[in-house]
Amino acid sequence: MKSYALFLGCTIPARQLNYEISARKALKALGIDLVDLDGMSCCAPPPIESVAVDASLAVSAYNICLAEEAGLDLLTICSGCFQSLARTNELLKRNSQLRKRVNQILSKIGKEFKGSIEVKHYLKVLHDEVGVEEVRRNVTKQLKNIKAAPFYGCHLLRPSELLKFDDPEKPRILDDLIEALGAKSIDYLDKLKCCGGLLRGYDDDLALELARDKVMKASKAGADCIVTVCPFCFINLDLGQIQIARKYNENYSLPIVHYSELLCLAMGVEAKELSPRSHRVKIDKLLEKIV
């Protein structure tokens, strides 16, 4: 059993218990051991990079240091955390000048970035380490009636040169993992286009317009659900639909589920164990299709 330091981040443990519960259950069942380390903070994502890039790099490197000290690779569930930590890790490994600058900051609290670990998103671990076949072998329920629209989001894929997650223009990992569950992974227009989630708080109307486009196009393609891997995509598409109904008088009622939720359901975990009330758009219609 491989152990990883779990990086939970800010949003998931506070707002999306459906994601945390399902990810912990699924990974454990598939032989991945997660260790909760002391002291992990915010990953210092785009909102902090926007304020001070140097602070973002240093805080992100600090979290990596904690995993280095524990001798564990870092595993993230949130794509935002993945991008911040994986980018910093790669940048500091490559650029000795930048590493020196960051280490000077970290030396004030007795830390040093060494570049001794990897940062991985759990989808990659499922795909490359557990393996698609092993995921398939653990499926006990029939999902063949489900047409799932995979949504990779942005921060899992780009900048690909640093993140090296999958082909940024033609990714397959999430599609493969959905099909391993027996569901159909469907294609839809603008599949890789951003949901607009990070505009929330600055320009909510614009964020909603982008979310609406996403939900509309997945709906038109006949999706029974959109499968997400990022808490901000989830909020913008799930809570977003309640706001879309109010603002545009359009009711899509398209369930938004994180991949780990679908995985748990396919492995026979009861929906009520997965904090179904974390969803604003009801997922009952989707659950009825699982036999």
Which residues contact another protein (rule: CB under 8 A)?
8, 10-11, 13-15, 17, 20-21, 24, 36-42, 44, 46-55, 57-59, 62, 104-106, 108-109, 154-155, 157-160, 168, 193-194, 196-199, 201-203, 206-207, 209-210, 213, 273, 275
Q: How far is the CB of 260 from another protein (least distance, A)?
A: 14
- Which CB, 108 or 291, lies closer to another protein? 108
Q: How far is it, in rounded angstroms, from Cα 80 to Cα 78?
A: 5
Owner of token pair 């989630």: 197
- Which CB, 53 or 242, lies closer to another protein? 53
- C-beta of residue 89 within 8 angstroms of C-beta of residue 161: no
Q: How far is the CB of 262 from another protein (least distance, A)?
A: 18
Q: How far is the CB of 255 from another protein (least distance, A)?
A: 20
Which residues neighbour 61 within 8 Å (Cβ) at sequence distance 6 or greater? 88, 92, 102, 106, 113
Report the 10 Å Cβ neighbour count for 52: 12
Sign of torsion, CA 133 137 143 148?
negative
- Which CB, 9 or 146, lies closer to another protein? 9
| C-alpha Rg value of the chain to the nearest Å | 19
Task: Give the type of residue at 216.
Answer: M
Q: How far is the CB of 187 from another protein (least distance, A)?
A: 18
- Which CB, 107 or 253, lies closer to another protein? 107
Q: How far is the CB of 206 from another protein (least distance, A)?
A: 7
Q: How far is it, in rounded angstroms, from Cα 191 to Cα 17?
A: 26
Exposed, middle or buried: residue 165 (CB in 10 Å: 0-12, 13-18, 19+)?
Answer: buried
